[in-house]
Chains A and B, each alone.
Chain A
Amino acid sequence: MDTMSLLMNGFAVALTPESIMFAVIGAILGTLIGALPGLGPANGVAILIPLAFSLGLSPTSSLILLTSVYAGAMYGGRISSILLNIPGDEPAMMTCLDGYPMALKGKAAEALAISAIASFIGSFIATIGLVILAPILAKFALKFGPAEYFALFALAFATLGGITGKNQFKTLMAAAIGLMIASVGIDISTGVQRFTFNTLELFEGVDFIIAIVGLFAISELLFFLERHAGDGLKQVAINKLKLSPKDIIKVLPASFRGAVLGFVAGVLPGAGASLGSFISYTLEKRVSDKDGTFGKGDARGVAAPEAGNNGAASGALVPMLTLGVPGSGTTAVLLAMLISLNISPGPMLFQQNADLVWGVIAAMFVGNLVLLLLNIPMVGIFVRLLSIPPKYLMPVVTLIASVGIYSVSHSALDLYFMVGFGVLGYIFRKVDIPLVPIILGMLLGPEMEKSLRHALVLSDGDWTALFNSGLSMGLWTVAILGLVLPIIVGPIVRAKMSKSKAATKED
């Protein structure tokens, strides 16, 4: 089989000592990043991009490093869910429901171990799904012309708010702002200066890496200060692990169901990891909660959402790698990495950079195994690090972020820009403007404009060309549905999510 041999080549790349080293480093960093409340995966990956960039790592190494960080963050998110009842990142929210009660019952170590196993199963199955689905989708995407791509970009923005999105107009506004920032600089096809105000520094446009670090990391610091959250939270003590094979077998079906559902949710536009873990949990509750133990510390209630969010995390890589259209904040940041390495994602990636793609996919298998091995015996170390109060940690993280930005081009100006974006991010978050569409706008802006131009030049200025093929009509329909559906369905789903959370709290 073709895919099989490509994957084997991938393993040849992923099993070199260098790649394994980066996978291990990434896994450790990622787990830490995911475990610390407030420092989400998007944030963590964003801080590491400039570092990987200025270290001059090869594209393969940097991508292996960052995808391991990404996978690790999904593992790490569960630690604070279980021990603090605070999700380290949003998708880990559902893990709180049964994880924290388990910890209260003195079974913290079991909850951590089971969730690590479930995470492993989730990622593993979803990575297999990625291996099967990605080449098919990439081949299909070769049929896309510029008009279809333009529709696809519109779809990405329309569905970014997700089913649970609150205010679609704010998502739209954020996307427009991001695309506007992307339009600053010299226009590639005509050489006309746009919005540069004759400032030399703006000729090349605004560097999105600086914007990402500013918007995420610096605004997070400001929020921490405002909430006086410097002291950290009390965590449940961890006990000695007593896990029999029977316990593991008991959660296997839950993990498998969660993994598959999560993968599907991850691939679909607009769903993402949060919805993946939510669906996995609710379905598992319906299937196996016969004695009403869910929400009171049932191991299956830990396994299902964990498998679900890890499955969704790998699933989200499918549209990112094959179409160049990320479905979540973190995959958007990974896309930023690809673009800054001069690799254009999309269907051609699988033909032009087959080594890289398959190397990274194989590295995901390796990284996943590393994560499982790290997370069962070494969980105590992560727990200890988790107890460092943010008042010491956040300033140091900010410092590392600044050093990363500074070492890209050794200019203080970039740091001013970073702080400026931090202030902007703070204001945006105050008025509830989502940050991810802004980032995505900055990333996709040039490509989106290019496809619009190509489409219209081919049709000699006829705008109906954008809607001419069945494929583009389909994409536009999904885009419009993605924009309109949340207004109708969103309140219902949100109410359900908060209800299931409130219900478990009452018990």
Chain B
Amino acid sequence: MRINDRVFGMLMLILAVAYGWEATQFPIPFGGHESVGPETFPIMLSIILGISSIYMIVRPDPDEKWAPVAMLIELSVVVLAMLAFAWAIEPIGFMPAAALVVSFLSWRMGASIAKSFITGVTSSIIIFFLFNNVLELALPLGLLEF
């Protein structure tokens, strides 16, 4: 199967065209035209990207296997967990958020629930104190702030 490269090449071709078109729409800079404007370099780039994506569509490499759907769903859940961590770090606080995300990740990587929980809690506490007290980089306390 050589679908991956074809699809990706197609996407990149669209990007190249969109990027190049957008570059031609730049407003004329203050002081009028020069031989090289803000659009010159981007247009060159869109040509290079266009050529290489056409090559990719015409002569694709063999596919690297995608993970089965179940794994892709799992990876998406992991990505969501990291985004949730990013969101939670301020309102909830670094320590609980980090403990949760690290436990979750190491559980998903195959550690037992108890061990991953221990990893999460100890690592988040150690890193919190390392950063806050030794390296003096303030991390948000969140809910633990009294």
Residues of A at the B interface (CB closer than 8 Å) are: 54-55, 166-167, 169-170, 172-173, 175-177, 179-180, 183, 187, 189-192, 194-195, 218, 221-222, 224-226, 228, 230-231, 389-392, 394-396, 398-400, 402-403, 406-407, 412, 415-416, 418-419, 422-423, 426-427, 430-433, 448-449, 452-453, 456-457, 460-461
Contacts and interface: CB of A to CB of B under 8 A. Distances in A.
B82 A399 contact: no
B48 A172 contact: yes
Nearest to B18: A195
A231 B4 CA distance: 30
Interface in B5-22: 5, 8, 12, 15-16, 19, 22
A394 B104 CA distance: 12
A218 B81 CA distance: 13
Given A225-B109, A430-B64, A55 B26 contact: no
B86 interface: yes
Contacts of A418: 86
Contact of A222 (B22, B78, B94, B119): B78
A431 B5 CA distance: 6
Contacts of A407: 131, 137, 139
Contacts of B115: 392
A180 B42 contact: yes
B106 A190 contact: no
B35 A456 contact: yes
B139 A403 contact: yes
A55 B124 CA distance: 19
A173 B29 contact: no
Given A225-B108, A391-B110, A460-B35, 13 more contacts: A54-B137, A222-B78, A230-B109, A391-B109, A398-B82, A399-B98, A402-B85, A403-B94, A407-B139, A422-B79, A432-B5, A456-B35, A457-B36
B82 A403 contact: no
Contacts, number: 182
Nearest to A392: B119
Given A172-B52, A396-B119, A456-B35, A412 B105 contact: no
5 contacts: A172-B48, A183-B41, A194-B23, A391-B106, A419-B82
A453 B35 CA distance: 8
B101 to A, nearest CB: 7
Contact of B29 (A190, A225, A400, A448): A190
A30 B143 CA distance: 36
A407 B135 CA distance: 11
Contact of A191 (B19, B29, B98, B101): B29
A461 B34 CA distance: 8
Contacts of A392: 106, 111, 115-116, 119
A192 B33 CA distance: 12
A412 B86 CA distance: 5
Nearest to B136: A55
A415 B86 contact: yes
Interface in B103-126: 103, 105-106, 108-111, 115-116, 119-120, 123-124
Given A192-B29, A394-B109, A452-B36, A173 B89 contact: no
Interface of B is mostly: helix
A192 B23 CA distance: 11
B109 A390 contact: yes
Interface string B40-59: 11100110110111011000
A196 to B, nearest CB: 11
A222 B75 CA distance: 7
B37 to A, nearest CB: 7
A218 B12 contact: no
Contacts of B34: 457
B56 A399 contact: no
A433 B36 CA distance: 30
Contacts of A221: 78, 105
Contacts of A431: 4-5, 8, 64
B102 A399 contact: yes
A419 B105 CA distance: 14
A430 B66 contact: yes
B136 to A, nearest CB: 8
B8 to A, nearest CB: 5
Contacts of B64: 430-432
Contacts of B89: 406, 412, 415
A418 to B, nearest CB: 8
A391 B106 CA distance: 5
Contacts of A398: 82, 102, 105
B40 A173 contact: no
B120 to A, nearest CB: 7
A499 B45 CA distance: 38
Nearest to A461: B35
B38 A190 contact: yes
Contact of B37 (A177, A190, A403, A412): A190
A412 B87 CA distance: 6
A169 B120 contact: no
